Every structure is written in C-alpha cells, then in structure tokens.
Amino acid sequence: MSDSSPLHPASTLPETQRHHIDARRLLCPMPVIKAQDLIKTLQPGDVLTLVATDPGTLQDIPSWTRVHGHNLELATQTNDEYHFRIIVR
C-alpha cells in the first residue's frame, strides 16, 4: 500500500484526519445522526471512531455505512459499550 492510501491504520493518520464521537447515553437515531452530520464535513480517507451505549447501534451503524458507501473497519462490544471505526469514502 502506498502512503497515499486511505486505508492506513487510524493510529498512523495525522490528528486532523482522525475524528471521534462520544455517543454514550444517546438513543437511536442520535448516534447515526451525529455520525452523518460529522462525516458530511470530512474528507475521503478520514477516520471516525464512535462509542455508543445504545445496543441498536450494532445494526444501525453497519447498515448506515453500507448504504452510504463508507467502510466499517471495526465494530466491537466491550461490556456495555459499542465501538466503531469508520473510514470515510
């Protein structure tokens, strides 16, 4: 992969290309709306991490990224939190 690839691990991206949303304690559809609103301002290749506590995000975030053409690189559950890493397309 060349250095210009948008698929670099998030930790190697400049801070300006990494973004985070804390959607804990927000219920559907707010985590998706917050992601959608922020992604509209980002560039292809930017990375968005999102942390939520609403179990519905396990279906909502993957569905939303698929419909809108973004790459869901990570979707995990840790205790009562759901962690997502989205590569903007």
Annotated catalytic sites, by residue? 28
Angle at CA 10, nearest 5°, toward 43 and 12?
Answer: 105
CB 84 within 8 A of CB 72: yes
Interatomic CA distance for residues 82 and 41, integer angstroms: 23
Closest C-alpha among 58, 84, 51 to residue 70: 84
Helix residue ranges, H only, the chain: 30-39, 57-68
